Structure 1
């Protein structure tokens, strides 16, 4: 079908719109990522999907298109932990860099990708710059105990354009949900563990459904202001998913914790980096919720590594089998 025909299918309003199949969604997203759509068509797609809402099959199809356009990389020595970081700090400090460096200290390979479309927020990349970490210009698999940073434009320029469309349209579009599922190593079919977050409880089910459709591996939780890190003020519910199936669920949210942890007094990158460094050096206590999240990721990574040993062949990149 043409782009116009797809827009007719999804643009008939909340009750009249028809869902796309996974291959159809992949074809449509491919045209958008390749810059083959007129700017008016891009805007129509963003608004139509905002009104209609995405199905799990559509989200999986969109990811298929993204994975197909990624560069091939060498197989990682160990499953990679993927941290999508696209929100940053608004009212609370962005602690995603602390989570990433705690995982690195555990010997895990970590790939953090992200940016923000809101210039007033402090980002994880800005904090990590104060800690001596710079983004890479080319995608590769990080080694065990290494943190690799990537921006969306370095990964997929078309994806970055869709994210940037928010500034013009004023509304989120499917790209803002896609990045929370996005595994940049997906083209090779390598086993990667995506730490995905949501801000509204209803998205817990839709995100789990997307990973089920795509056969992915993930730890899902209600993140801190949209970041994939546990809120230090409360213990979040967490869902572990391997090969699309829920394998474990951790404690449900239980309100505020008895003793609130000490957090940085300011939200700027320098203050957050100083706090992060002090926690890593043992000069400040590690918030209990982050300690629990790190333990969950390490345990899930161990299960994934056992299931996908280095001697095992890479998972095929076919519908339903994306890592």
Structure 2
């Protein structure tokens, strides 16, 4: 089937063009994920949506088709989905990886998934995984097994879905972000009952929360975080949008420290991640970032309403419950 009818919906002209319905978006993405999808029509759809702006129906429909295209999950399912697709150009070290590790140590299996090899700087997310003892899954089946043995795993996008990887990499041709970036944050490949998502632009918080509600997701927290990742700046009280029991929800992060430091000004080397975990580095700001992010993730997962207190307790016991 041709993508042309879906291009016409978006591009008929002033007064005639309209947004996709959720079903139309699902049908369009199903075709876009096929190897024989017409590249010109595919590019037209992505750039028309870029120009017009994404709707919750667009993202929910696209995500529904993307989820349906994935192989069946095998092994242990995650309790918390944690996507990581930010470019990382405006941030320092990925402290949120320590937060995810802390949450996993608290008995909440965490699936990290993403594509971060393009990051420029001192430490990409993938570079930091091995030193932190976070295993990198070579297959989807291995991801489930790693959750069973380690409580945490990272699943690269090119392993998860080569076709979605292809759609994402069209950014190199367009020179512009597309809605695929948003869809990947919503993907939740392990069908975890809860998810956390980071965004760079504040408007996407409500968009992704609304799309999650249309998809029937139960628990979700969307945060304007460090460089677009789910990572809380501890000196800022930031609004969080999402879902609780499938209903729209809004909260605030609160502040835990007075010191203000821009993430891009972080002068620490990548080894600081392991050093902070081992207690060899005393950095109050970095520790507050890790604990604040972990607390928000624990609350999103439904483990406790007092996520900050649980994160403090896990941090104090971290070397007993998990190792680097």
User: Shorter chain as normaliser: what TM range?
Assistant: 0.7 to 0.9
Matched with 1:244 is 246
| 1:1-323 superposed matches below 5 A | 2-12=2-12, 16-74=16-74, 76=76, 79-93=78-92, 94-116=94-116, 118-121=118-121, 122-139=123-140, 140-141=143-144, 142-143=147-148, 146-186=151-191, 191-216=192-217, 217-247=219-249, 249-251=251-253, 257-260=257-260, 265-266=266-267, 271-272=269-270, 274-283=271-280, 284=282, 285=284, 286-302=286-302
> Does the aligned pair in 2 maintain the 1:46–1:174 contact within 8 Å?
yes
The equivalent of 1:307 in structure 2 is: none
Structure 2, unmatched stretches of 5+, are: 305-324
Structure 1 distance, partners of 2:67, 2:206, is: 23
The equivalent of 2:321 in structure 1 is none
**Are 2:209 and 2:242, in contact at CA under 8 Å, matched by a contact in 1?**
no
Q: 2:257 touches 2:288 (CA, 8 Å); kept in 1? A: no
* Residues 113, 155 of structure 2: 8 Å contact kept: yes
Unmatched segments (≥5 aa) in structure 1: 305-323
CA contact (8 A) 1:87 1:123 kept: no
SS of 1:107 mapped into structure 2: coil
* Partner deviation per Cα, 1:247-284 (whole Å, 9 max, x = no partner): 561246x7x952247989547xxx22x22212222333
TM-superposed CA distance for 1:167, in Å, is: 0.5
Q: How many residues align?
A: 293
TM-score (norm 1): 0.80
Contact 1:106 1:145 in 2 (8 A): no
C-alpha RMSD over aligned residues: 2.8
1:173-215 CA-to-partner distances (Å, cap 9, x unmatched) read: 11111112220123xxxx4322112222222221221111112
Larger proportion of helix = 2
TM-aligned CA deviation for residue 105 of structure 1: 2.2
> Deviation per CA, 1:2-33, whole angstroms, max 9, x where unpaired?
31010011124686531112222111111111
TM-score of the aligned structures, taking structure 2 as reference length: 0.80
SS in 1 for 2:148: coil
